[in-house]
């Protein structure tokens, strides 16, 4: 592990020493899973045959769940209804170890509920049951009083605004002022485009659409001059509304940090997520990881990398999900070569991909010196599947198969070159002489390789034996690693 990655992991290890306060809109997330295989005779809509139902905290509750999952001591302040849904949320968060002493139950106010109906990996419908919160002055002061009494020892305040009515012109400035008086930084995940209520916040974290709303401009991250234009517009927002800094999340284009101080440079980092299965709650995870990283003392660029890695983990899960410290440290460890997987990581990923209905492809070899024959094989194999895994013989395996003078390039160099190819999604290094044990673990839907008829191809026979497909690819004549090495040695 490089020193830089070790440094990132050291901040994650400090999470357990932090006391975080999340203030925000509480939502009950419910997922109804089933199978839709026919249309209703009553109307042209699919019929979902319900198989299971899961409920968990959403909105600010998901920020709390992620903070607890990452090991932070966490307190929560917000409003729920005096109803069964509110009781479920309070009990669920208390079981997770969150301090809910600042959670206010309001009579006559229904707890917000989002119910998603899902068939396989496809979201079919979302039904929202909610009412805009209008917190009476007496209850508002009661909530602020509870927060003020709990402020001692807090390392960071996270405001999770889902636009449900809590963060109005009375409450928001008051909670920011309480935090500032206590010397505690405040990060806001905003909903409104009127940042007047966020004045005094240390950092505001809009997504691209929200950023365009507050600046009144459109931004294309792929266009020349995007960063300069975004920074200029962002700094104008900071000056106008009196917020310290902005961090704009850009979906597949990563995130850009725009400091209000013009003497400080901006930071723009790419996204870490490659396969996206579900984005429910990814912003909550990003907020939790960013806040915890900054509270642990990480510089902004490193905190962004940690938050980005955390988001990359949860979008690979289904439903409203959380991140553990071990998952995060493992992700950071492999961040520099995120698509070079261990056998266990690859087995877990292929299982997820199959569950999402994707076709998993596989090919393997030593790939000591890449040549056009290899490139052709990778491209043809990728055409047969949604995601291509490449099994790569380890250095010891190559020596046993090819002799003591091989490989020419070590496994780190070979795997880095292979995974850099557009057609390849993931590389897995294996120690055995054949890929059979690896195939047993991954269970690919398709295996493809050039020059191997099925009767002389044990790996292909194995895939066929459990219902998969083996494809013999046409050989590109005139290229082989052995002949290239012989030419070099002449």
Catalytic member of 161, 284, 368, 425 = 284
Catalytic annotation present for 224: no
Q: Does an H or E element contain 86, and which? A: helix 84-95
Compute the distance between CA of residue 196 and CA of residue 193 in angstroms, rounded to an integer: 9
User: Do 186 and 210 touch, CB atoms closer than 8 A?
Assistant: no
Query: Please, which residues bridge with residue 137 across strands?
Result: none
The answer to whether 68 touches 97, Cβ cutoff 8 Å, is yes
Tokens 């990398």, located at residue: 305
Concatenate the DSSP letters of all residues of 266-315 into one string. PEEE-----S-S--TTHHHHHHHHHHHHHHTT--HHHHHHHHHHHHHHHT
Sheet containing 203-204, strands listed edge to edge, beginning at the edge strand earlier in sequence: 99-106, 73-81, 19-24, 156-160, 186-189, 203-204, 245-249, 255-259, 267-269
Nearest-CA neighbor of 65 among 361, 383, 285, 331?
Answer: 285
Place of tokens 């003392």: 297
459, two tokens: 């790996």
At residue 195, the 3 state secondary structure works out as: helix
Q: Which residues are catalytic?
A: 284
């Amino acid at each position: 592990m490089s020193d830089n990655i070790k440094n990132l992991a050291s901040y994650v290890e400090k999470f357990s020493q932090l006391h975080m306060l999340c203030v925000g809109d509480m939502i009950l997330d419910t997922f109804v899973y089933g199978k839709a295989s026919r249309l209703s005779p009553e109307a042209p809509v699919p019929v979902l045959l319900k198989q299971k139902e899961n409920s968990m905290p959403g909105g600010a509750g998901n920020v709390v769940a992620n903070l607890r999952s990452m090991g932070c001591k966490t307190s929560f302040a917000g409003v729920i209804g005096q109803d069964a849904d509110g009781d479920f949320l309070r009990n669920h968060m208390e079981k997770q170890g969150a301090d809910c002493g600042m959670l206010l139950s309001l009579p006559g106010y229904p707890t917000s509920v989002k119910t998603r109906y899902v068939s396989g990996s496809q979201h079919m419908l979302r039904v929202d049951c909610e009412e805009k919160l209008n917190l009476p002055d007496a209850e508002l002061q009661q909530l602020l009083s509870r927060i003020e009494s709990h402020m001692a020892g807090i390392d960071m305040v996270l405001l999770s605004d889902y636009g449900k009515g809590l963060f109005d012109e009375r409450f928001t400035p008051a909670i920011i002022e309480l935090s500032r008086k206590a010397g505690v930084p405040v990060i806001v995940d905003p909903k409104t485009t009127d940042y007047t209520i966020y004045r005094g916040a240390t950092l505001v974290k809009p997504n691209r659409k929200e950023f365009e709303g507050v600046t009144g401009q459109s931004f294309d991250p792929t266009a020349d001059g995007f960063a300069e234009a975004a920074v200029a517009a962002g700094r104008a927002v900071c000056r106008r509304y009196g917020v310290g800094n902005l961090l704009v999340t850009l979906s597949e284009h990563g995130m850009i940090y725009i400091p209000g101080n013009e003497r400080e440079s901006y930071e723009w980092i790419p996204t870490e997520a490659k396969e996206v299965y579900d984005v429910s709650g990814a912003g909550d995870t990003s907020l939790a990881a960013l806040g915890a990283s900054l509270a642990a003392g990480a510089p902004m660029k490193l905190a962004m990398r940690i938050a980005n890695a955390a988001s990359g983990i949860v979008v690979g899960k289904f439903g409203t999900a959380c991140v553990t410290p071990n998952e995060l440290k493992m992700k950071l460890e492999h961040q520099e070569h995120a698509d070079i997987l261990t056998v266990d990581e690859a087995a877990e990923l292929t299982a997820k991909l199959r569950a999402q209905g994707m076709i998993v492809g596989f090919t393997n070899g030593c790939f000591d010196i890449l040549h056009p024959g290899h490139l052709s094989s990778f491209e043809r194999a990728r055409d047969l599947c949604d995601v291509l895994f490449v099994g790569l013989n380890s250095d010891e395996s190559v020596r046993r198969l090819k002799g003591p003078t091989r490989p020419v390039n070590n496994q780190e160099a070979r795997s880095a070159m292979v995974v850099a190819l557009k057609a390849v999604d993931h590389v897995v290094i294996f120690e055995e002489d054949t890929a059979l044990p690896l195939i047993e673990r991954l269970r690919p839907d398709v295996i493809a390789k050039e020059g191997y008829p099925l009767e002389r191809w044990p790996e292909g026979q194995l895939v066929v034996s459990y219902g998969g497909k083996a494809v013999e690819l046409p050989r590109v004549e005139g290229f082989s690693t052995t002949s290239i090495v012989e030419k070099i040695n002449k």
